[in-house]
Every structure is written in structure tokens, then in C-alpha cells.
Structure 1
Amino acid sequence: MSQVVHPPESSYNLLPREEFHAQKPPRYMSKHRPAVVLEQKSSKDAMRTMGPAKVEVPPPDEYLKKHSKEPKLPEKTQDSKEARKACTVRKPAVPARTDIPIMGLRSNRDFIKTAIAVSMKPKPTCVDSRKGHKQLLENSGLVPKYIKKRDYGEVPEYLQQRNEEEQRAQEAYVNSVKEQREQGAMKHLSDEERQAVLEGLKKNWDELHREYQGLSLVTDTLSKKSRKERLEAALKQLETDINRFERFKTIYIPTKQNH
């Protein structure tokens, strides 16, 4: 069972107390409230219906007929026919084939520009991507327009000129070698002599290479640096001479020097 709790006894509780009720201020009401309520109610109730909208139903004999909503031309009357017959202005007749055209007529119209503007056609293009990128067909390389040139398939002039210069230089070199051979200024090396010279060049290259390998790794002085450069130049020259003797089988050497 629940225990009843009594307030503690006090002398102040013996005197009766007056109950105090706080009064709230009156609620604010706008003076335009009735007009707003009436306007809102009228706008809501205007579209509120029960069942189908109440509209005027046409009578049964005025049903929708075929072509009834198409625009109609005004009916021809007797006045319109008389006004058409009363028109005396007529267009000139078509000139005959034997008529001579009138000379000296001038016009401000540019017939050339008009003809060009009328006859302009879109330029052919080609699309080369799935996103629609296009370019002129003439510049795309797909049109064989170069085969229609007059000089198509012929050697260009600059190549002909260069070939002629090379041929003249070769002929001049052959003639000079022939003249020197006839005068005894050049000597043809035999295979034994060429082999002996080649072996001597390789031997010299081995000696210089052995000397080059014995150089110091640190080139801290000018003498070391100059000696290294001199050996490198001599080895490079020997390698060039060896390559020439191995590459060419026919070799001519000058027997005397012209001062």
C-alpha cells in the first residue's frame, strides 16, 4: 500500500490563503483577419466540387462534326465577284521569242554575288572520332588530289640537280685519279703491301694503347692532361686508318708531293 505523506504542521498553515490567478493579456487579433479569412475561403471553395464539374451540356443535335473546327474561308458573295471583275490592272504579257530585248537597262543588284550566294554548297567534311570531331575532307589526306598534278610521279628538279652535281663530282674525281695514274703520281698497293701496312698500323695502335693504359688516373697537372689528349688523338687517327685499309681493297698512294 502506498504511504500517505502529510505536509508538516506549521502555524502559517492555520490561516487561510487567498488564491491568486494571474491574468493573461488579451490575444492579438488583426483587424484584417475577417477579410483575409473570407478571401481565402472564397479562393479555396471556387475549385471545390463534388463529382464532375457543372458545365453546360450541348444538346444532342449539336454533336461534334467532321472538319467543324477547321478555319473556313469567307463565302463568295455577289459583291466580291463584281469587285474582281472591275480590276483593270493586268500584268504584261510574256514576250515572244522574236521580240528584241530592251537595251540600256541598269540595276543596282549584283547578280554575280547573288549567283555565288545561291550556288554555295557546304564543304565536304569527314568525322574522325566518336565525339564528332570533323575536318575538311580536302585537307584530311583521303582525297587523291596529288595524282592529278602534271608533275606527279616525276623526280623533283632539286633532286635532279643534286644528282647531276654528284655525277659531275664523281666524273671529276675519276678523271683526276686517271691523270695521276698516267703521270705516275700515284702507286697502286698490292694485297701483300696493303696487309703489311695494316699489320704495322695495328702494331702501332697496340703500343700506343699499352702506353695509354699506363697513364695515371688523376690528371692534376697540365703535362698529364696534354699527354693524355695527344695519345687519344693518335689512337683515333690510327683507328681511322685501320678502318680504311680494312674497308677498301684497292688503295692508291702518292709517290711524290707537288710543292
Structure 2
Amino acid sequence: MSGFVYPPESVYNLLPREEVHTEKPPRYRSKFRPTVVLEGKSTKDAMRTMGPANVEVPSPDKYLKKHSKETKLPESESPNQLFDQKPPVPPRTDQPLMGIHTKRDFIKTATSVPMKPQPTSVDTSKGHKQPLENSGLLPKYINKKHYGDVPKYLQQRIEEEQTAKKEYDNFVKEQRERGALKHLPDEERQAILQGLKANWDQLHHEYQGLSLVTDTMTKKAHKESLEGAMKQLESSISLIERFKTIYIQKN
């Protein structure tokens, strides 16, 4: 009780006070309410009865009888009426008619070669199949007219190489006749090739020792000069390795 605080006493609190009544705003009513009420009454009034009011009551005599919905065959006058409608059996002395073909010759169909099944390819686990001819698995290209022929651009390249070789041979022959060229022996060719490879190894070792950062013009120029020299050596090595016969000018 120590925490409870009494309100301050005052004489004015004994005076009666007037009750203040707060007026509530009018309740919201939609302008479509009368239309909705009329529609609801019209639908409810139409469905108040269980089904239509005027329904023809079925007669108690018209009930579903046994076997009434089964199809019945027309009654025949005699049990042999169906057999009497067929033509009589011809005698043994009559000759059969020859050359008559029906729509389907059963004997020919039975003795003919059976149809071969169409080859198909199944490409999914669910059994989706398509004709094998359209699947791309048949090597149709082997039936082409020009299958296996050398392409025209390769024939042209071979002819150009043969022409260039022929011209080179003629040039070498003319120079040899003049005495301006001599054949490079295989020993000297191998020695030159080994020397070019040694020079390339030396330049490559020096190139590997360059710093990773080329921050000055001197480093950049030195790196470019090494790359150019290595590239020139590589072209010379490939040229000597490709041609076995080399002619040089006489000193």
C-alpha cells in the first residue's frame, strides 16, 4: 500500500458534473443495397420449393420391368428361315467360275512375303521412338555421288604445291647450270640446325630471367628484342627442318 498515491482533495470534486453524450456518425449504407435485396428475394422465392411445382407424377403401372431394356430379335415364322434365304448348294457337276477376284484375295495374302517392320530408334528411357532414317544414325552420306572424293580446295592446294615445287626445281636447275648454287651437305645442315637451337636456348634462358614487371622503357625494349630474336630463330629452325635439300650460293 505504500506505493499507492491518493488524488489531491478538492472542493470542486464534490460538485455534480454534466454527462457528456458523444454522438456517433450515421452507419454506412451502400447505395446498391435495395438492388441486392431485390435480387436476393427473387432468387430465394424461385427456389423455395423442392423442384418444380407442376411435375407429372409417374403412374404406378409404368414401372421398370425385367428384361425390358434388352434388344429382341425379330420373331421368325420358322427356325429354318435364315437357312432358307441362302442359295442352294451347287451340284458336283457344275464348273466353278474362274477369273473372279474379290476385294481381298486371302490366298494371295497368306502366301505373300510378310511386311518387314520399320526400323526405329528409341532415344529416351520412356520409350519415345522415331524412324531410324530421320534419327541421323544411318550413314546416308556414303550414298552420295561424290562420296570419298578429294575436295576441290585440297586438289587446288596440291596443284599449287606441285607447281611451286616444279618452279623451284627449275630455278635450282638453272642456278646450278650457271654455277651460282651448291648443295648443302647433310652434316653442315645438322650443324647449322644445332647451332640455331643452341642460340634459341640461350635467348630463352635469358628471357626466363627477366623480371615480371616491365615498368621502364629499357626493360620493355629488351624484352621485345629477345622475343623478336627468338621468333626469327624459330622460323629459321622450322625452315631447315622442313626442307631436306638446301642450296646455297657459292662464295
Q: Same fold (TM over 0.5)?
A: no
Structure number, greater radius of gyration: 1
TM-score tier by shorter-chain length is 0.3 to 0.5
